[in-house]
Chain A
């Protein structure tokens, strides 16, 4: 009996066969408000191995165009290792095989990946190792890559966090260097204590201009 599919399936081809034309992508959809029991994990924002002496804290607020905090956003972070490597390591989400409970990381390995929901005040906190530039790109300034998901965002937003102590590298960074100063500033974390940085995400410029919209990125 023939398969009762209702539309052509790209998977009909043999694995690895070259397509005639690029396949059309699956469209993005909002994460919605109710991802909280599925995606976040204990220790999701603890990228630095437990007790690591170099640990830095990056924290901030996600705001919308009315200036209101966004309590149902999820931020993901990805960064190069301390040696500039971009290989990452498994173990960010770790489940207990006995109970199935989410137990977070093993506390020893640096995986390079973090995932944090915002709280009721729109705040997030990340503990990680200082950002580095990828090994193959000595001209880039150290930074974290960020994906922003939220109810109301039909397609996530990508941005970056750069750090103020790398003033020379930041001035030469291929992305920062081509942005006007007031725009580049939105990608720069502000030191607000020893090993502590504030980085806010402004999804949309507020009408009164109080908060400059964060620079968001597209990759082509």
Chain B
């Protein structure tokens, strides 16, 4: 991983643009080896093809969720174990415009680092009061907000002594299928961040920093929860850009 980061730094020093997304082939993340395409992607220019199906996207509304979906600590009769968190931020497009009324979904391990998933056999306890899945729609300013608990680190078998840093998975829809994003939010100061090949697949340090939330004391609720702020910028053309002539 260090060698790949050094090579990326040399490329940037040589004037190459810093990659904004991870390469699909990143050997330190073992599963990527046999699952990335070898051939270059075929480009579709959204300006030449403004009616492409992908420049629109699915719609979601209030029937798609309930009020309790955004509070992962209230989905069961009892309180989940762990440090309670408020995680909020804005979803923006690359033009800085808020992405409104769009579905944001999250999922995560519980406080001891285990997913409520049958195939997760990490010998950490399951929490009967925590499933770890949530949803909300962004508001008129593009804001989302979740109440949850801090996920634990957990081992995985990618390499010797491999542990994933604490993270929350995010799934986002923009106004177009081309803006679709699945990503992970990390926590500031986590000592595991430098050792994680999934985060490390983003070889530009500035881009990696965009995956780390900021602790925000103003979001911290007295005697209730710690606050983190994490803004998300969706990539890719949206139909709105074309319509507005930008």
Contacts and interface: CB of A to CB of B under 8 A. Distances in A.
B54 A145 contact: yes
Interface in A137-157: 137, 140, 143-145, 147, 149-157
A155 B131 CA distance: 26
B182 A29 contact: yes
Interface string B41-62: 1111110011111111111111
A89 B61 CA distance: 8
A88 interface: yes
A75 B218 CA distance: 39
B60 A32 contact: no
Which of A6, A22, A29 is most buried by chain B, counting CB atoms within 10 A of its CB? A29
B56 A87 contact: yes
B51 A140 contact: yes
Interface residues of B, number: 103
B35 A10 contact: no
A151 B31 contact: yes
Which of A11, A78, A96, A111 is most buried by chain B, counting CB atoms within 10 A of its CB? A11
Given A155-B22, A205-B39, A219 B54 contact: yes
Contacts of A149: 182
Contacts of B163: none
B161 interface: no
Contacts of B233: 10, 23-26
A88 B207 contact: no
A79 B169 contact: no
Interface string A163-183: 000000000001100010000
Contacts of B116: 37
Main SS of the interface on chain A? loop
A26 B22 CA distance: 11
A7 B105 contact: no
Interface string A1-26: 10111110111010111110011111
Contacts of B217: 1, 3-4
Contacts of B68: 100
A78 B173 CA distance: 12
A97 B58 contact: no
Nearest to B106: A38
Contact of A70 (B35, B142, B201, B208): B35
10 contacts: A5-B214, A27-B21, A27-B208, A31-B171, A37-B115, A66-B34, A154-B22, A154-B32, A219-B55, A219-B236
